[in-house]
Amino acid sequence: METSAAVRPIPGSASDERLVALVRDGSEPAFEALYERHVRGILGFCRQLLGSAEEAEDAVQHTFMAAYRDLLDSPKAIQLRPWLYTIARNRCFTLLRERRGQRLTPADEPSTEHLASAVQRRQDLRDLLADVAALPEDQRAAIVLAGLGAVPHDEIATVLAVPRDKVKALVFQGRSSLIASRKARDTPCEEIRLQLARLRDGTPRRTTLRRHLHECLGCREFRLVPHG
């Protein structure tokens, strides 16, 4: 007797395209195989994008539930992995907009295997996460996807709905911003205050100076005091 698609065992070597076809044919094992194949990557992406393990779990559940419904409802052609990342990205951006203005708490420490492999101290890690959180959304997503290592630039372009050439620009801009923020934070306050005392019109134009002032209350207060 022929086994139905819904209960037929799914070989581990089945391609994504085959799994999608089987899911649309009613196979629950195919969706389970699809989930097991991609859940770790999607979870890592959501954790790094959101900075919250709990919200990341919710985003992953939303992603796969939405994907399952869409696969059953629509016969449209898809590239499974970038399509899943696109759903996850949209969900994460929705969550980020809902809590915009809130600060990361010490407990909100996402996986940083790639983005923060050289970070040793807990405060450095928090600072890095805050810098990543402050990036524009497309730069942040590009940095995270590129940091995962397994997502090529053409798929990142699909996820972000941008030309492939722009992916390199987004990653470069994001990394440059993170480096600039780290440099500003590491610049001694004495050096910053010396620069402030030498300002002629009181308007800081150097990137390092502006970024340091944004984070350092003491130097902001120093700037308000007349000098010379």
Q: What is the pTM of this model?
A: 0.69
Highest mean pLDDT among 32-36, 120-124, 140-144: 32-36
What is the CATH number that goes with domain 16-100+107-186? 1.20.140
- The domain ranges of the chain are 16-100+107-186, 187-228
C-alpha dist (Å) from residue 172 to 108, 165, 215, 220: 26, 11, 23, 29
Per-residue pLDDT tens for 76-127?
Answer: 999 999 999 999 999 998 988 887 655 544 444 445 555 555 444 466 667 7
Percent of the chain beyond pLDDT 90? 35
